[in-house]
Amino acid sequence: MKVIRSLKFVRDVQRIDDKMIVRVENPEEQNPDLIKAVIKAGGKIIFLTELRPTLKDIYFEIVKEKG
């Protein structure tokens, strides 16, 4: 998890049971670099998918930014 957090493009990392949710700015461009970093650090990636934000997620992000 430390390796993932150290990547400049990673916005957030959450660990839920045996899964990790990693938020990045541009998944299409940055997922290959994320995968390389995890493998280089000795980690394994079994499955990778994109989770799109819900309207609720977007609302809370806007409210959080406005303070």
pLDDT tens-digit map of 12-58: 999 999 899 999 989 999 999 999 999 999 999 999 998 888 999 88
Contact 2, 42 (CB under 8 A): no
pLDDT beyond 80 at 65: yes
Predicted local distance difference test score (pLDDT) of residue 1 = 80
Return the sign of the alpha-carbon dihedral for residues 22, 25, 31, 37: negative
Please check whether residue 10 is in contact with residue 22, taking contact to mean a CB–CB distance below 8 angstroms: yes
pTM for the predicted model, two decimal places: 0.73
pLDDT given for residue 33 in this prediction: 97
Q: Which residues is 23 bridged to in the sheet?
A: 12
